[in-house]
Structure 1
Amino acid sequence: MENIRKELHELEVGKLLLQEPLSKHTTIKIGGPADLLIIPDGIKQLKAVMDMVKKHQVPWTVIGRGSNLLVGDEGIRGAVIKLGEGMDNLEIDDDQITVGGGFSVVRLATMISKEGLSGLEFAAGIPGSVGGAVYMNAGAHGSDFSKILRKAHILFEDGSDAWLSNEEMQFSYRTSVLQNKRPGICLEAVLQLRKDNREDIVQQMQNNKTYRKETQPWSQPCAGSIFRNPLPEHAGKLVENAGLKGYQIGGAKISEMHGNFIVNAGQATAADVLSLINHVKKTIKDQYNIDLHTEVEIIGTNN
């Protein structure tokens, strides 16, 4: 990895960190080291990074702000590319915005509400990046990114890039085409919003933030919702009804506030979290004959 680091350093692509603990870059504060963590300064630099990893045939992984993510205790081999500063451009054109993949969803929703633009109220409190939100079609309060995305600028594995329309993104519940059929990185998104009463928008934003604060344990290290809702059922309610709230394995604990959250109660490992996930899956299957599937993305290597 030292060779590719030196070449990337000469290209001045951004920040380069060897053996960086990914626990510093996930909201649940868990994760072993990345062989090489790269934080590109912009789209041009990211493309140079992708050309280099392809040239050296280095495996690569992309992360955003580290929510909805569980990284293995042994970390991630190869290059980990983090979208953040340098990938957080924002342009407002009437009721349409173009925003970089590294932009904070919470910050974006707050800023847009003050502009009197409606459509992102559901995102108040979603602690991820725009790129990650598009990738997984993040949502809450009955809405999601598929409702507001016009098109997304995607960088594909082969180094090519293109704008995909909403239809081409093939959105469904917490899913997009980027997860399986056409793997890629969301560089930018064009969102179609609508003008509305600023005070009403800000109030709805505040209501959504308050609801999250009162019902979800974001004051503790966590990764967000662990399981997809097996509609019409809700994972959190199933876990609660099964008597699993507060159940703990090692440092990983099912939140007392919300059954679909696992919190890092102190020195939790990815292995602890995975054991707890498997225990919940087995319990729900045994009691309700329902298969739970994880919403949190599990990446990297474990013991």
Structure 2
Amino acid sequence: MQNLQDCIDELKQSLPQDAVLLNEPMSKHTTFKIGGPADCFVMPSTVEEAMSVIKTIRKYDVPFTMLGNGSNLLVMDKGIRGIVVNLNERFAKITQDGTTIHAQCGALMADVSKFAGACGLTGIEFAVGIPGSIGGCIFMNAGAYDGEIKNVVKSVTTVNKNGEVVHYTNEQAQFGYRHSAFQDNGDLILEVELELSFGDKEAIQAKMADLTARREAKQPLELPSAGSTFKRPPGYFAGTLIDQTGLKGLTVGGAQVSKKHAGFVVNIGGATAQDVLDLIAEVQKRVYEKHGVKLYPEVKMIGEQ
């Protein structure tokens, strides 16, 4: 604990006062609105600050967790020990250079898609409804409507565990289904280059409007959630299997299988992480009993239960 306190003291000296928060409730920083406190919540706003934070954390050898928009995350009820490094709205610049989009990792995926569309660039319309930061999307190779972020990534810039800046090509990022190299190596994603192509601006805007309307019609956006709860099992759709098992509306505490889309677990009020875990386990059990198909969570679970 002394190492952690010494680390926090040094971070306070090197960052603005409002960039270092203690015992910060993670329920404020996840789209699920669930999660206990982080020992220390740090919000760097430049590459230099991010490098300094990582070097300080390494110096004191304390655990750290990277957080983007918190959109595919279930934080446990006892919270997160060590340092949470949050690269969100303070780290969200988006620029264009020809057919290339440069985005800092905290930029929301929807904002990146809309920015590209306004520039007349096509290839990332599918991501307009993904409710996370581009850093989080890279981390998990997010996808929607038959598109995946890996298809448009040119390069990724990170800070590694030694506080050094590293550049990855698309191939080096080792994208797979809901996977990237950054899940294994612990690098902190800083910036992303996307390679798109020029298209008809009206057609791009129309496609994004259509995808947005489809998402709003089908998904329970009016309630807190972590997005799609389960990975798609080969040959099936998780939501369809759950619906066919009669589980829409199944509730444990404040957690509920959405009545609008069975593929989503939503927070109907005061849900704990344990509520969500218990509900997920019950859904897995009943779907397997009826269909013989195992469902695996897509939501990343972190922290102490």
Instruction: Give the TM-score taking structure 2 as reference length.
Output: 0.96
**1:184 is the counterpart of 2:197:** no
Q: Name the SS of the counterpart of 2:129 in structure 1.
A: coil
Equivalent of residue 279 in structure 1, options 273, 282, 300: 282
Amino acid corresponding to residue 136 of structure 1 in structure 2: M
1:128 corresponding residue in structure 2: 132
1:247 corresponding residue in structure 2: 250
**1:104 is the counterpart of 2:83:** no
2:56 corresponding residue in structure 1: 52
Q: Name the SS of the counterpart of 1:246 in structure 2.
A: coil
**1:157 is the counterpart of 2:161:** yes
Q: Name the SS of the counterpart of 1:36 in structure 2.
A: strand
**1:203 is the counterpart of 2:203:** no
**1:117 is the counterpart of 2:121:** yes
Post-superposition CA distance 1:8-40 (Å, at most 9, x none)? 121126600000000000111000000000011
Q: Name the SS of the counterpart of 2:19 in structure 1.
A: strand
Amino acid corresponding to residue 253 of structure 1 in structure 2: Q
Q: 1:89 deviation in Å?
A: 2.1
Q: 1:232 deviation in Å?
A: 1.8
Answer yes or no: is the 8 Å Cα contact 2:52–2:163 preserved in 1. Answer: no
Following TM superposition, where does structure 1 have runs of at least 4 consecutive aligned residues deviating by more than 6 angstroms? none
Q: Name the SS of the counterpart of 2:226 in structure 1.
A: strand
Alpha-carbon distance in structure 2 between the residues aligned to 1:81 and 1:281: 32
Alpha-carbon distance in structure 2 between the residues aligned to 1:12 and 1:69: 26
Alignment of 1:167-178 (within 5 A): 167-178=171-182
Moved more, 148-157 or 188-197: 148-157
Q: Name the SS of the counterpart of 2:54 in structure 1.
A: helix
Q: Name the SS of the counterpart of 1:40 in structure 2.
A: coil
Alignment of 1:19-58 (within 5 A): 19-58=23-62
Percent of aligned pairs with the same residue? 39
Q: Name the SS of the counterpart of 2:227 in structure 1.
A: strand
Equivalent of residue 85 in structure 1, options 75, 85, 89: 89
Q: 1:97 deviation in Å?
A: 1.1
Alignment of 1:209-224 (within 5 A): 209-224=212-227
Alpha-carbon distance in structure 2 between the residues aligned to 1:223 and 1:168: 28
Q: Name the SS of the counterpart of 2:21 in structure 1.
A: strand
Q: Name the SS of the counterpart of 1:253 in structure 2.
A: strand
Alpha-carbon distance in structure 1 between the residues aligned to 2:99 and 2:187: 27
2:13 corresponding residue in structure 1: 10
Alpha-carbon distance in structure 1 between the residues aligned to 2:292 and 2:195: 41
List runs of 5+ in structure 1 lacking aligned partners: none
Q: 1:267 deviation in Å?
A: 0.5
Q: Name the SS of the counterpart of 1:124 in structure 2.
A: helix
2:260 corresponding residue in structure 1: 257
Q: 1:289 deviation in Å?
A: 1.6
How much is the aligned-residue C-alpha RMSD, in angstroms?
A: 1.2
State how many pairs are aligned. Answer: 301
Post-superposition CA distance 1:235-271 (Å, at most 9, x none)? 1111111111110000000001111101101110000
Alpha-carbon distance in structure 2 between the residues aligned to 1:159 and 1:111: 30
**1:166 is the counterpart of 2:170:** yes
2:70 corresponding residue in structure 1: 66
Q: 1:157 deviation in Å?
A: 2.0
List runs of 5+ in structure 2 lacking aligned partners: none
Q: 1:6 deviation in Å?
A: 2.3
